[in-house]
Amino acid sequence: MTKLKGILLTEGMHGMISQVEGLAKALDLDFTHHTVELNNFWKLFPPKLTPISQKVFKKIDVEDFDVIISCGRKSVIPSIYLKKNSSKKVINIHIQDPKVNLENFSYVIAPEHDGLTGKNVYSTKGAIHYLTKEEINNHTNYLKSRIQVGKEYFLLILGGPTKYYDYSDNNILNIFNLFNDLVKKNNLQGIIIPSMRTPKNIIELAKNKLSQKSIVIDSIDKKAYLSALSLAKYIAITCDSTSMISEAALTGKPIYVADIPTKKNDQRFQKFKKLFHQLNIIKKLDTKLETWDYEILDETSRVAKEIKKQLI
């Protein structure tokens, strides 16, 4: 059977790419990815005040497609426009709340903590993403030449500054000190993985302040990320990234959230953390480590199965 052709529309940020590509792979689409660029002053307007027009965004050079998967504010208008102006029936799926009439989309996928409802809405526990259990397991050996054999491993995944959290050196240093103490006290080896949003000064701070018992991956390396997820006994993630916490929940391993002082109201993040606490997936990073079990979370596969029924 010939695969359906898909186009993926995002603003180019890792969290968005992870979500659209994860869904496209789960739907078994033959897809291409396109970074959306808005024209001129349309960058300043929310989608609900923006016309459905080619004038709004730079032209996306693709003609034949069956499915559009979009994520993020800037991709809302291009998705609606491309569907309406296609010569054939097109399914368009938007991930996150588009902040426009939901009937503009075939399906909308949004996390429960967004509180979005509608007949074409699929609610997910956390963010969907591009990782699979098989892919994680296939990269177990990637970091083995760089770590101590026979140790148990504690993984710390770093996010980056947002409008909600104060990523000052002092606040991050508090997390590093807590991580250091836990590594030493429990005779572990630490593995520190940055994300695309992690500032270089924070990576350098990790290299300077963390003990000899930890290794710091100082570049963006997906294979190292997958390997660390596979090897770790415990996982800690900074509180700014619901996407990376959702990705780690695929492992079934204990996940600790490293809190950072807020700069503004982070109510959506608090709702997310409350749900994941209730699901027994996360605990707050503190002065002791423990293990626990929870049902592995794979919302990407679950939602894709439901949508596939409609695509057949």
User: pLDDT tens for residues 212-230?
Assistant: 889 999 999 999 999 999 9
* pLDDT of 12 strictly over 70: yes
Give pTM, 2 decimals.
Answer: 0.91
Q: Indicate whether 95 and 205 sit together in one domain.
A: no
Same structural domain, 191 and 75: no
Residues 27, 116, single domain; the answer is: yes
Residue 312 has pLDDT above 80, yes or no: no
Answer whether residue 36 is part of any domain.
yes
Read off the CATH number of the domain in which 46 is found: 3.40.50
Q: Does 269 have pLDDT greater than 70?
A: yes
4 alpha-carbon distance from chain centroid: 25
Other Cβ atoms within 10 Å of 219 Cβ, number: 7
Beta-bridge partner residues of 95: 71, 109
pLDDT in tens, 47-76: 999 999 999 999 999 989 999 999 999 999
- The residue range of the domain holding 51 is 5-125+300-311
The answer to whether residue 293 is domain-embedded is no
What is the structure's pLDDT at 1?
62
Q: Say what the pLDDT of residue 86 is.
A: 95
**pLDDT classification of 311: cutoffs 50, 70, 90:** confident
In whole angstroms, what is the distance from residue 147 CA to residue 150 CA?
9
Tokens of 24: 């496209």
